[in-house]
Amino acid sequence: MIKDLWYKNAVIYNLSVGTFMDANGDGIGDFQGLQRRLDYLQGLGVTCLWLGPFQPSPMRDHGYDVADYYNVDPRYGTLGDFVEFSHACKQRGIRVIIDLVVNHTSDQHPWFQAARQDPDSPYRDWYVWSDKKPADADQGVVFPGVQKTTWSWDKEARAYYFHRFYEFQPDLNTAHPEVQAELLKVMGFWIELGVSGFRMDAVPFVIATKGPEVKKPKQQFDMLRTFREFVQWRCGDAVLLAEANVLPTVDQEYFGDDGDRMQMVFNFQVNQNLFYALATADTRPLAKALDVTRVPRPSTNQWGLFLRNHDELDLGRLTEAQRKRVFDAFGPDKDMQLYDRGIRRRLAPMLRGDRRWLELAYSLLFTLPGTPVLRYGDEIGMGDDLSLPERECARTPMQWSDEPQGGFTKANDPVHPVISGGAYGYERINAAHQRRDPSALLNWTERIIRMRKECPEIGWGDFQVLPTGSNAVLAIRYDWRNNSVLVVHNLDDRPHEIALAVDGTGESPRLVNLLAEDHNDPEEDGRHRLVLEPYGYRWYRLGGLDYLLRRTEGPVGGAKRS
């Protein structure tokens, strides 16, 4: 059973080992370098690290083509280095979750090599084969414009193999009992080395039925319960965070009605509508997305909230007209777009480096229902390198200082070019400069993270979107254990005055500003009148700062939350 729902009020920081810090000077980030930067992450307020793939790989897809699930790629160090890193995180109270990429392997994985060489190999059925190319082989490609098919011919096997992603990533037959048993072993291995859970990659594809006869894949949700049971048996507070870009009509299936599948799921519906709101200053679709993803669920379940991640900003769930509005605002040039559905830029250049707009976006990230997930470098406003192919443009090395290669490495040829020159070059945008500037984005982010951790109502509580009288202004009240928090955001580049009927729980009707000194008392009609500057935001507590004395105690889990 879960001993501690730590993820409900966590701050998760996503990074790739290879682009964070290089300790040995070979131009590639490694676990020793990452370990040396843990004090920076602890100071920022991070409570959990999410690591991208670091297992041995040909690196044709940034490590998502895994060739050995039980080791560390030599470029990043050794298993010993990982254990030292894991121990150092534990000393600092930082948990670690890692990518679990089990929908497919690399075509260089020994399992696939054995499967293709011998039709009688025990590994043959670990993959999905067909003697003939299925008629729908050109349907369902994940990377339109780059990927042409989901079935490719293997000369040695003399058969077609299925690959939902690139041709060098053959799909595992995840419904096969032996494959499932092996995947549980993989999870158990890394749990023993100190990880607190897994971000499961491409979950809808992992649990889908596969084969040449499958015309409309069905989701095998019981598989998720198998994974969940295993990790909790091995480590009571280990979590599974699902990457599942699915419609709200089925997202409850990933949690399970009894909360017995995934503890966390990324909220793509809110993410996409959030960017539409940022582009148009129209919060109505965002409010609707919050409502439709608010299905009643056990209190052990949680949404993962994010702005940008290591992939493109996927806008596939928006209408064509909505998607065009977001493209026009944040990715108007064709080379800024990807796969006909998304934008491949980092957040800061998308928002034109406007500090007001950036603060608004991060304030929304930390106050929407769920657990915030921050991408490395976003805390300093890093940019992108559009000369790099596909999604690589937003995966450049961390910019630590204005020293050569941004302080990332002593090598002259890093794994990716460090962004240099211009508005987002390491000479101007780096952690060292910003740490010395009290008003810099880095220090602002540290303060906002500290305040978010002092508002567990956002991670734990029930919420209500309040009418504001303006489509540009979003107001949400959270209630939890006799305490209430109110957050208000103006997504417009013009000021707005609103009147709010707040209600909620508090000793008095006063709204105490948590980020400044302009507190707010209701007028004679009981409504609070607020004037919000362009891109303005407010975090309030209802009643006063004696809220800790008024907080009631209650059970950790079990009760339904809506």
Q: Which active-site residues does the annotation give?
A: 201, 243
The number of residues in the chain equals 562
Q: Are 242 and 287 in contact (CB under 8 A)?
A: no
> Which tokens sit at 273?
């509508």
Q: 59-93 burial string, b = 16+ CB within 10 Å, else e?
A: bebbbbbbbbbeebbebbbeeebbeebbebbeeee
* Contacts by 501-504, CB closer than 8 A, 24 or more apart: 501/466, 501/467, 501/526, 501/527, 501/528, 502/466, 502/477, 502/528, 502/542, 503/477, 504/477, 504/479, 504/542
Q: Are 44 and 449 in contact (CB under 8 A)?
A: yes
3-state DSSP of 38-87: HHHHHHHCCCEEEECCCCCCCCCCCCCCCCCCCCCCCCCCCHHHHHHHHH
* Cα–Cα distance for residue pair 401/514, rounded to 1 Å: 32
* Cα–Cα distance for residue pair 100/63, rounded to 1 Å: 11
Which residues partner with 96 through β-bridges?
49
Q: How many Å is the Cα radius of gyration of the chain?
A: 24
The number of CA neighbours under 13 Å toward the Cβ of 45 is 21
Q: Are 84 and 35 in contact (CB under 8 A)?
A: yes
* Cα–Cα distance for residue pair 488/513, rounded to 1 Å: 11
User: Exposed, middle or buried, 131 (CB in 10 Å: 0-12/13-18/19+)?
Assistant: exposed
> Which tokens sit at 131?
């003697």
The number of CA neighbours under 13 Å toward the Cβ of 368 is 30
Instruction: Calculate the CA dihedral of residues 306, 249, 199, 444 and round it to 10 degrees.
Output: 10
Q: Are 541 and 483 in contact (CB under 8 A)?
A: yes
DSSP3 helix / strand / coil % (the chain, rounded to 5)? 30, 20, 50
- State whether residue 284 is helix, strand or coil: helix
Q: 422-442 burial string, b = 16+ CB within 10 Å, else e?
A: eebbbbbbbbbbbbeeeebbb
Beta strands in 237-338 (DSSP E): 239-242, 264-266, 297-298, 302-306, 313-314, 337-338
